[in-house]
């Protein structure tokens, strides 16, 4: 990885946990730049090397996937997607190496083991406070399903399956884990000040 000139931080964690909001607030506080790698991932659909994994979930029958896929396989699929697009993410992250302002990168695909392996700057992990909170955000900004039943199943998958994996992996690599925005903001500001 290239040496970055300015302060850097990454935010990982489950969907709808407030990663984008935290990145934006941090950028405002420190006069920095918030970079959503989720948005960048979607643009990779035009690159044949990554198209399969960018569209992996959209290519599934969601109802069937949520009802028949084991928790272990769901996590394995997220890991496979994250690892597949990681080279493109590293290119994008390194494109900011000469930026002197603080840069905050956020994305569900910055899995803790990938960050630990390749990123030379700190991060935080957001895991959401409750199923109800995740469901409310899922309904407000649908990610996948367009029916209430599917959104409920998605929220259940996110909170009961993905959340423990993110928490466990983040703790394994010493990445601070938060279900509270205010605490995450405080810690992130400290990390950016070092």
Query: What's the CA gap between 103 and 128, in Å, rounded?
Result: 23
Q: Can you give the pLDDT at residue 4?
A: 87
Q: Can you give the pLDDT at residue 147?
A: 86
Query: Quick one: how many helices (H) and strands (E) in the chain?
Result: 10, 5
Q: Answer yes or no: is 81 within a domain.
A: yes
Q: Please give the backbone phi and psi of residue 130, each rounded to the nearest 5 degrees, phi first.
A: -160, 160
Q: Answer yes or no: is 106 within a domain.
A: yes
Q: Answer yes or no: is 3 within a domain.
A: no
DSSP letter assigned to residue 158: I
- Mean pLDDT, residues 138-156 taken together: 85
Domain of 67, CATH number, reads: 3.40.50.300
The number of domains in the chain is 1
The residue whose two tokens read 């899922």 is: 138
Q: Answer yes or no: is 194 within a domain.
A: no
Instruction: Using pLDDT thresholds of 50, 70 and 90, give the confidence band for residue 180.
Output: very high
Summarize pLDDT for 58-92 with one digit per residue, the tens: 899 999 999 999 999 999 999 999 999 999 999 99
Q: Answer yes or no: is 2 within a domain.
A: no
Q: Answer yes or no: is 152 within a domain.
A: yes
E strand map for 74-173: 103-106, 123-126
* Three-state SS at 69: coil
Q: Answer yes or no: is 132 within a domain.
A: yes
pLDDT over 80 (residue 145)? no
What does pTM read for this prediction?
0.94
Range of 150's domain?
Answer: 8-189
Q: Answer yes or no: is 108 within a domain.
A: yes
User: HSE-up of 105 (CA within 13 Å, CB side)?
Assistant: 27
């Amino acid at each position: 990885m290239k040496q970055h000139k300015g302060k850097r931080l990454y935010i990982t964690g489950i969907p709808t946990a407030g990663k984008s909001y935290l990145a934006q607030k941090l950028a405002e506080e420190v006069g920095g730049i918030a970079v959503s790698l989720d948005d960048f991932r979607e643009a990779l659909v035009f690159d044949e090397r990554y198209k399969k994994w960018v569209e992996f979930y959209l290519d599934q029958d969601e109802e069937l996937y949520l009802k028949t896929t084991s928790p272990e396989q769901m996590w394995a699929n997220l890991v496979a997607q994250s690892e597949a697009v990681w080279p493109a993410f590293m290119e994008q992250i390194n494109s900011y190496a000469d930026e002197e302002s603080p840069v905050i990168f956020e994305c569900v695909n910055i899995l803790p083991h990938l960050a630990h392996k390749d990123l030379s700057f700190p991060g935080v992990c957001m895991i959401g406070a409750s199923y109800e909170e995740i469901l409310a955000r899922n309904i407000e900004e649908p990610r996948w399903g367009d029916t209430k039943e599917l959104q409920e199943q998605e929220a259940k998958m996110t909170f009961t399956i993905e959340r423990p994996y993110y928490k466990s992996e983040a703790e394994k690599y010493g990445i601070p884990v938060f279900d509270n925005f205010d605490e995450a903001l405080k810690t992130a500001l400290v990390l950016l000040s070092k």
